[in-house]
């Protein structure tokens, strides 16, 4: 765990069917976040492209050329602002393969450094809309390690435990959903794995699930102050904050040791009363 701090922003953006409007809106929020000192800005699932069944009614209607242009403009803007961006967007594949549901990671130099593709797609996504991804993705900014998940993947604890093993300090969880249960689950996963979780949702879903920043103790640090409108939630992640001493320096390393199991096997008793589990 880094002992330094980093300021990140979780965006609550408004998604429309117009990718050009989405791109302009995203760049405006990036500028707001950078002006507030954020080093990284997280956007929701489908922030630029729109999400399937909501803004995207069928793949033939997608203007992939315009989408590529907006991605390039957004990357260039990240370079101008010297800010990292985690941007939810569909990623086209060679026909007849369906696109990925992805998050692009753009560096503060305006360079695409990688992409996370949603692995655990919903039934409707995997049968009608998306090609699932295969791998986790982590990246480092200013000594902090970030991982990413999308929407329904919060339902699979093994994915969040995987990122703990990969050493992430903060999980960027982006979801096109207004289900409050996702927020409750995110808090539980943050407390279980002892890392920060940024929860980015679109403005149109914020009535039930506003964009939120969760600490490594599972408690909410900050939440969007407006509902149904665009917003930026800025938070400083500080590994030396006394609030998180137990979570980061005691609970997390102890749980990693406990999961290996050696401390329990070494303490096992060779005792008949232990072996016999059918008597009082």
Question: What is the pLDDT confidence band of residue 96, given thresholds at 50, 70 and 90?
Answer: very high
Angstrom distance (rounded) from CA 110 to CA 81: 9
Q: What is the pLDDT of residue 52?
A: 84
Which 3 state secondary structure label does DSSP give 59? helix
Smallest Cα–Cα separation from 195: which of 223, 168, 159, 166?
168
pLDDT at 66: 96
pLDDT digit string, tens, across residues 228-245: 999 999 999 999 999 999
Residue 21, token pair as written in the block: 């409007």
Residue 103 confidence (pLDDT): 98
Residue 252: is its pLDDT beyond 80? Answer: yes
With a pLDDT cut of 90, the percent of the chain lying above it is 90
- At 188-213, the pLDDT tens digits run 999 999 999 999 999 999 999 999 99
Q: What spatial distance separates the first Cα and last Cα of the chain, rounded to whole Å?
A: 46
- For the chain, the average pLDDT equals 95
**Residue 1 in this model has a pLDDT that exceeds 70:** no
- Give residue 2's pLDDT: 44
Is the Cβ–Cβ distance between 103 and 136 less than 8 Å? no
pTM above 0.85, yes or no: yes
Binned at pLDDT 50, 70 and 90, residue 60 comes out as: confident
- For range 87-100, the mean pLDDT: 96
What residue ranges define each of the domains in the chain, with the CATH number in brackets? 5-268 (3.60.110.10)
Sheet holding 196-200, edge to edge: 138-141, 144-150, 170-174, 196-200, 212-214, 220-223
Our measurement of the distance from residue 122's CA atom to the centroid of its chain's CA atoms, rounded to an integer in Å, reads: 17
How far is CA 250 from each of CA 6, 33, 184, 263, 273, rounded to the nearest angstrom? 21, 33, 24, 16, 33
H helices, E strands: number in the chain: 9, 12
pLDDT of 54: 85
- Residue 174 has φ and ψ, to the nearest 5°, of -115, 135
């Amino acid at each position: 765990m880094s002992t330094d701090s980093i300021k990140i922003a979780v965006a609550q953006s408004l998604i429309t069917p117009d990718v050009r409007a989405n791109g302009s809106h995203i760049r405006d929020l990036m500028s707001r976040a950078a002006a507030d000192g954020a080093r990284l800005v997280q956007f929701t699932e489908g922030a630029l492209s729109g999400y399937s069944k909501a803004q995207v009614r069928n793949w033939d209607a997608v203007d992939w050329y315009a989408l590529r242009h907006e991605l390039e403009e957004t990357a260039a803007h990240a370079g101008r602002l010297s800010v990292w961006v985690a941007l939810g967007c569909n990623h086209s594949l060679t026909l007849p393969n369906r696109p990925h549901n992805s998050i692009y990671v753009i560096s503060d130099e305006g360079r695409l450094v990688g992409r996370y593709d949603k692995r655990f797609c919903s039934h409707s996504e995997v049968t009608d809309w998306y090609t699932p991804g295969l791998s986790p993705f982590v990246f480092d900014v200013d000594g902090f390690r970030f991982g990413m998940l999308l929407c329904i993947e919060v339902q699979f604890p093994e994915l969040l435990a995987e990122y703990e093993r990969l050493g992430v300090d903060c999980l960027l969880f982006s979801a096109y959903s207004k289900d409050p249960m996702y927020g409750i689950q995110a808090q539980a996963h943050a407390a279980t794995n002892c890392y920060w979780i940024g929860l980015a949702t679109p403005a149109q879903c914020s009535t039930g699930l506003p964009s939120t920043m969760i600490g490594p103790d599972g408690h909410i640090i900050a939440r969007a102050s407006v509902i149904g409108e665009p917003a930026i939630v800025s938070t400083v992640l500080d590994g030396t904050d006394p609030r998180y001493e137990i979570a980061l320096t005691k609970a997390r390393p102890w749980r990693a040791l406990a999961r290996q199991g050696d401390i329990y096997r070494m303490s096992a008793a060779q005792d008949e009363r232990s072996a016999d589990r059918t008597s009082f």
